[in-house]
Amino acid sequence: MLFLWLYMFYSCAGSCAGLTTRGSPAPPRAAPPLPPLLPGEPGEESSLEEQRAAPDAGSPISSFFNGSGTKRLPQAIIIGVKKGGTRALLEFLRVHPDVRAVGAEPHFFDRNYERGLAWYRELMPRTLEGQITMEKTPSYFVTKEAPARISSMSRGTKLIVVVRDPVTRAISDYTQTLSKKPDIPTFESLTFKNRTTGLIDTSWSAIQIGIYAKHLENWLLHFPIGQILFVSGERLIRDPAGELGRVQDFLGLKRIITDKHFYFNKTKGFPCLKKAEGSSKPHCLGKTKGRTHPDIDQEVVQRLRDFYRPFNMKFYQMTGQDFGWD
């Protein structure tokens, strides 16, 4: 009889739960609205699918899948640099089960700071205990106000900077702009204030971003050097697993991302993931990555190398790393 009673009880529970009164079906629940989306960089994957796939926080289903998952301010931020390899690093890191990251760039500490930390937190994905919340916005590294603002949020925030040969980075930056505005002046003409005298135009952002030592000085006013990890954009291409090993150690994560996660795509000239986050298919970065650079006058390239050399040497001393850019 006991077993019969239990069987009848559980059978009724499923069919009766949807009734508010005898014979009256409960009104359907309205679907929860999607959170607002942020615009990503052109050609980059939107976080729309990621946001739609996440269960509603207030439902029993979400409690089952997310447990005590909550939205937290990021414990780690990729702060730079533009055209250094930040998108690749973020995509690679998202393979790790203990890393949860915003897909699009929030631009909170440079463009949206007046919206407040509550707005910023709402953009973050839900995380479980032990998982790390991350975001990446490369323009933070060159934004004067960003270090103080991030420090004000949390002095313990871990910062990651992906750096690349500043000459190659400048050409890549120009190439991206050229793809959107084909009628812009030549790289050579934009590089100099006066080509005859060889005076470099440091007001041009493509040149100015690569003076890494100058920007780093601003960050060291608010963060100790040991709280900033410098990732080589060149090594991220040659040895992605090696660089990801350093990043995982820095974040206090188990080394889960290894050589087995990557293959080299000869067409693009970049490493790709054998399986991306939430997918069983290989994944390479979008068509906006790995563009063919225009031919640049080698005399101009050499002048730029001469210009950057003292700044590079200082950057090596400040970080304790020789990136081999000369």
Q: Which residues are catalytic?
A: 83
Annotated binding-site residue? 83: yes
Please state at what angle helix 240-250 crosses helix 86-93, rounded to 10 degrees. Answer: 70
**Which token pair is 323?**
């990136």
Distance between CA atoms of residues 282 and 275, nearest Å: 5
Annotated binding-site residue? 11: no
Angle CA 171–172–176, to nearest 5:
115
Selection from 190, 177, 205 nearest residue 293 by Cα: 177
Annotated binding-site residue? 292: yes
Annotated binding-site residue? 149: no
Distances (CA, A) of 287 to 43, 60, 179, 183, 267: 7, 40, 12, 21, 11
Q: Which amino acid is at 284?
A: C
Distance between CA atoms of residues 104 and 39, nearest Å: 6
Annotated binding-site residue? 84: yes
Annotated binding-site residue? 303: no
Distance between CA atoms of residues 56 and 49, nearest Å: 14
Annotated binding-site residue? 293: yes
CB 232 within 8 A of CB 161: no
Annotated binding-site residue? 85: yes
- Per-residue buried b or exposed e for 146-178, using 16+ beta carbons within 10 Å of the residue's own CB: bbebbeebeeebbbbbbbbbbbbbbbbbbbbeb
DSSP 138: G
The three-class DSSP label of residue 272 is strand
CB 291 within 8 A of CB 285: no
- DSSP letters, 250-262, are HTT------GGGE
**Which token pair is 50?**
């990621």
Distance between CA atoms of residues 134 and 93, nearest Å: 10
**Which token pair is 311?**
């700044």
Q: Which residues are annotated as a binding site?
A: 83-87, 164, 172, 289-293
Q: Which residues are annotated as a binding site for 3'-phosphoadenylyl sulfate?
A: 83-87, 164, 172, 289-293
